Structure 1
C-alpha cells in the first residue's frame, strides 16, 4: 500500500468514526498484548469521544494485560444488538475473530486494521501495513490523523502493545516509529517500569512450574540451528496451568547460541498441536507456517498441525530442513 493510499484509508476510517455512534471492537482468538492493547486503546479513545463502545474477545484477556484500562469490561459473549461498525484488529485472518463475529447478522460494516503480512481484505476499509511495529501503532496513526488528543488510558494501552510486540524493542520490527510513539506515550505519563513489571515480572507460580516441565522437553536439532519446547495437556493437568501461561516460553529456546529458529509445540487436544515459530532473521518462518495453513510475520508465525507429537515434530522439522 502506497503512502498516499494509506493516508486515504486512514481518512476513510476517521470518517467512519465521525459518522457512526455504535461500535464493536474485537481481535483474534488467544489474544496477545498487541491484540488487547490495540483493542483497548481504540475503545478508550472512542469512549472519550462519547461513542457507544462494546469490546468483545472470544477468549479471555491474558492476566498480564488485566491492568489495562477497560480490560474488566471486555465481553466474551456477543450482545444481541446491532452495531453500526465493527473494528477488527490484529487479526491476520477473519476467521480468527471467532464464529460469533464472522457469522453475525447484527454488524453493518467491518473495518480491518492490521500489521500482518498478507492479511485478508474483508473490511469496507482495510488499513494493513506490515511495516508497522504493532497494530497499536496503526491505532495511534488514526488518532493523530484525526487531530485528537491521546488520554493517559489510551497511551498506556498503545505503549503496552508496542513494548510487547517488539519484544521490549529487541525484535527487528523495532523501527524508528516504534521508539517515537513509545517516547510520546511516556511523555503523556506512562511509566515504563510499571508496564514492564505488569507484563513480565508478575508471573503466577503455575507459569513457572509449567515452564520447568516444558524446558524438560527441550529438543535441539543436530545442526544446532533449531530448538523446540513442548507443552502437553498432561502438563497443564499436573501444574494447574493453561495455554495462556505459555506466552514467552518460546524465547527460552530462541536465546540459545546458534539457534536460528525456535519452536513451541502446544497440544490443543489429542492429535492436534499449535506450532509457534520465532526466527532470528535468517529464516522466513511465515513461509514455513503457511505451508501448514498458518500465517504470521517473517520472524514470528504459527499454525496448527494434526498428528501425534512425534509425527508433528517430524513434519515441521523436515520442512525447516528443506527451507535451508
Structure 2
C-alpha cells in the first residue's frame, strides 16, 4: 500500500491535501506535514480544510497557506484525504477535483478512495504520515516534524489516552531528535489561550450535569455564551475533557448549540465503552473512545435528554 502511494507521489505533480471539517491537531498536523514534505520535493500542493486552521494551531509552519475554498473547475493529479473517517467530512466533493483519491486514516469504517491506507491501531493519522515519509525517504525536517508531533500529541491527549502506544512514544522521540522542542509545542497548544476562551469555559462549566448513576456527565455551550464571553465557537475545543475528568465518569459529553437548531455533540469514554458506534448510529463517526455527531432538537434540554437516553441504553 505504501509503495503504491509513494509511486503516485513520485509520478505526479499537482496535489490536494485535505482533512475533515472542524479539524483537530491530528487533522491539521497531518495535512501540514504532508504538504510541507511534498513542497520540499518541488511538487505543486494545495492544502485545504473547509473550516480552516483553528487559532490555537496557527503557530504551525505553513498554516497560513491552508485554503477554505476551491474553484469549481480546479483539478489535481492526486488528492489526499487525511483523518476524515468518512468522505463527506471533507465538506466538498473531492472526487470531482482529483484524478486519484488517496485515503489515509486511523478511524474505523474508513475504507474509501482509490487507494486506502488504514490502520486503526495507529495512535494518530500523523503516525501514518510519518510511516509514508520514512518508507519513501521523503523530506523530514524540523517544520515537518513539528506538524507530526502536534498530530500525535493531540490525538493521544498529550500521551494520556489509551491510544498512546509504544509507536507513539517512539515517534515522539524521533521527532524530538529532529529538533522539536516539547515545551515550545506544549506552551503554544495549552498555555497561549485568549481571555475570551477562559470566560467561555467559566460559562460552560456552570452547565456541568452529572447523571444520577455517576457514570456519565455533560457540559453544554449555548449560543448566548459566545455573545457573553466574546469567544468564537472554535475556542471551546477540548471542553469535553472537563466532564471526563470527574471521578467515576465513564462517558463525557460536550453539547454545543449551533445557530440552526442543530446540536453538535462530542463523546469521550473510558475503557471498553464504545462511543464510536453510538456516534455512527446518530449519523456521526469517530473512534471507540472519542467520537462525535450532530443531532436536531427543539432545545438543549431535549437534545440532552435524548442523548442521555442513548447513554442509559449503552451502559445497561
Structure 1-normalised TM-score?
0.94
Cα deviation per residue 1:48-92 (whole Å; 9 max; x = unaligned)? 111111111111211111111110111112145321011110111
| Contact persistence 2:41–2:139 (CA under 8 A) | no
Alignment equivalent of 1:317, drawn from 289, 308, 316: 308
The aligned runs of 1:18-37 (5 Å cut-off) are 18-37=10-29
Q: Distance in 2 between matches of 1:94 and 1:106?
A: 13
Alpha-carbon contact 2:37-2:138 (below 8 Å) kept:
no
Structure 2 residue 200 is the aligned partner of structure 1 residue 207: no
2:96 to 87, 91, 105: 105
Other-structure match for 2:78 = 85
1:256 aligns with 2:246: yes
In structure 2, the residue matched to 1:243 is 233
CA–CA distance in 2 between the matches of 1:128 and 1:190?
27
1:270 CA drift (Å) = 4.3
| Mapped contact 1:260–1:282 kept (Cα < 8 A) | no
1:136 maps to 2:126? yes
Distance 1:289 1:160 in 2: 25
State the Cα distance separating 1:239 from its structure 2 match.
1.2
Tell me by how many angstroms 1:117 deviates.
Answer: 1.1
Unaligned runs of 5+ in 1: 1-8
Instruction: Say if 1:87 and 1:111, in contact at 8 Å, map to a contact too.
Output: yes
Q: Structure 1 residues 216-225 or 278-287, which shifts more?
A: 278-287
Aligned Cα RMSD in Å?
1.2
Looking at structure 2, the residues matched to 282 and 135 of structure 1 have their Cα atoms a distance apart, in angstroms, of 22
**Distance across 1 between alignment mates of 2:52 and 2:225:** 21
The reply to whether residue 56 of structure 1 matches residue 48 of structure 2 is yes
- Return closer, same or farther for 1:311/1:68 CA change in 2, 3 Å cut-off: same
Query: SS at the partner of 2:107?
Result: coil
Query: Comparing 232-241 with 171-180, which one deviates more in the overlay?
Result: 232-241
Q: Answer yes or no: is 1:38 the counterpart of 2:64.
A: no
Stretch moving more, 73-82 or 204-213? 73-82
- Partner of 2:276 in structure 1? 286
For residue 196 of structure 1, what is the aligned residue in structure 2?
Answer: 186
Q: Which whole-Å CA distance do the structure 2 matches of 1:224 and 1:309 have between them?
A: 21
Query: So what's the TM-score if we normalise by structure 2?
Result: 0.96
1:149 Cα offset (Å) = 4.3
- d(CA) in 2 for partners of 1:238, 1:53: 40
CA contact (8 A) 2:40 2:139 kept: no
Q: When the two structures are aligned, how many residues end up with a matched partner?
A: 313
Distance in 1 separating the partners of 2:130 and 2:105: 12
Question: Equivalent residue of 2:268, what SS?
Answer: strand
Answer yes or no: is the 8 Å Cα contact 1:271–1:309 preserved in 2.
no
Q: Distance in 1 between matches of 2:229 and 2:44?
A: 41
Residue by residue over 1:188-212, the C-alpha shift from the partner in whole angstroms, topping out at 9 and shown as x without a partner, is 0000000000111000111000110
Q: Any gaps of 5 or more consecutive residues in structure 2?
A: none
The residue that corresponds to 2:258 in the other structure is 268
